[in-house]
Amino acid sequence: MNLIIFFATIDVLTFMALGILFSMKLRETRRIKEIEKEIEKFEARRKIYLAILEDDEDALLAIMKNDKELLLDVINELSV
């Protein structure tokens, strides 16, 4: 009887450990996706800055069509 309780306890602890590892992996995956989104925003901002510095009207028009809010944020940052 004691042996059954021992193995049942080990099984429960194993499943708890696997659950913890799985939740840590999910958090890591979410964080990676958040970082990738931040990188995309930085790259978009860099393109806007370059278009403004080079006075590239075609690039600015393309940016205006695709992402007006980000362009306005960058312009507001530059005007402050």
- 76: pLDDT confidence band, cut at 50, 70 and 90? confident
Q: What is the pLDDT of residue 26?
A: 92
- 71: pLDDT confidence band, cut at 50, 70 and 90? confident
The model carries a pTM of: 0.62
Residue 79 pLDDT more than 80? no
User: How far, in Å, CA of 56 to CA of 44, rounded?
Assistant: 15
Closest of 59, 51, 58, 39 to residue 78, by C-alpha? 51
